[in-house]
Structure 1
């Protein structure tokens, strides 16, 4: 069975706009997904990227236009300037890591619920009540927000190192076992085609 390594940040607007596209592709190809939240700002620093706040105004303006266009095309609600962005990604990332280890819930749904909370619902995903609500709403024990802190911190740091090692430099980023890399929610179709070719 193919495993797709999914590197993402819980405050990435482009990861939010991916919706459940990756989960649909995985189901189509009988593949599994390993969710690997990363500290996107640290990743930028390690791979030559620039945090949005430090980018040239022309790049920021284009990013804004592109996000709005994509949200409209995908018919997804989207707030270009949410009340709680940027925010600390660690609590939501730790919760996802703990939930993946625990199993029993909808992990893809949990990932998407954090992003929706940020980009649609005007919630701060760094706060304990939001983290617990997202866990519970996706079928996980909300106490994972507390019990998974140590494992979460260690895995979160390891995910960053693995991302750099595998050539990941942004989010969302998808890596297949043969080393094929796909950057951006607009490359999901290419991932689908690649997996189809491997199966044939």
Structure 2
């Protein structure tokens, strides 16, 4: 059975555009997923990435065009300039980590997508306690995890960054299969699907 480590930040528009396709692909091939939210600023600093605010205008403009085109292709709503972006991604990350550690009861993939959708389509601030607890509850998890899982979440969040660097990840979304194959970006999910099928 294949396993996928999924590295992402909870405020990534491209992770939002992935929707729940990763979960569909994993189910089709009997693969398992470990969700590993990471501090994207830390990942960029360790792997040569440039923070959005520091990129040239031409790259910022292209990013917006690409987001608009990809959202249209996928028929997904997107706000190219969300009210709460950037925001602190850590509270949502801690909640995901705590929900994953608890196991059972909720839909973890839907929770991850819920946070991303809240930022990029619903103009909600995923750094706010009320939003975090609401999303946990909406996806079948104890909303108290937003608070009880903070210490473990913080420790795991830091460890995820180290693991991402060691695995060769450098952006979001980033998928690492236990075969050693790496896939960067929601537009490479088709390649991940083909790889798990033994065709790539």
| In structure 2, distance between residues paired with 1:109 and 1:21 | 11
Identify the residue that residue 37 of structure 2 maps to in structure 1.
37
Identify the residue that residue 109 of structure 1 maps to in structure 2.
110
Alignment partner of 1:78 is 2:78: yes
| Mapping for residues 31-180 of structure 1, pairs under 5 Å | 31-103=31-103, 104-180=105-181
| In structure 1, distance between residues paired with 2:76 and 2:42 | 28
| In structure 1, distance between residues paired with 2:117 and 2:177 | 26
| In structure 2, distance between residues paired with 1:76 and 1:26 | 21
SS of equivalent residue, structure 1 residue 129: helix
Cα displacement (A) at 1:85: 0.2
| In structure 1, distance between residues paired with 2:122 and 2:20 | 18
Alignment partner of 1:188 is 2:189: yes
Q: Cα RMSD between the aligned structures?
A: 1.0
Identify the residue that residue 22 of structure 1 maps to in structure 2.
22
Cα displacement (A) at 1:149: 0.5
Which blocks of at least 5 consecutive residues in structure 1 are unaligned?
none
| In structure 1, distance between residues paired with 2:21 and 2:179 | 21
Aligned positions, number? 199
Cα displacement (A) at 1:178: 1.5
| In structure 2, distance between residues paired with 1:2 and 1:106 | 20
Runs of 4+ in 1 over 2 A off after TM superposition: none
Q: Deviations over 1:80-119 (max 9, x none)?
A: 0000000001100000000001112000000000001000
With 189-198 and 55-64 compared, the bigger mean Cα shift is at: 189-198
| In structure 2, distance between residues paired with 1:69 and 1:41 | 25
Cα displacement (A) at 1:41: 1.1
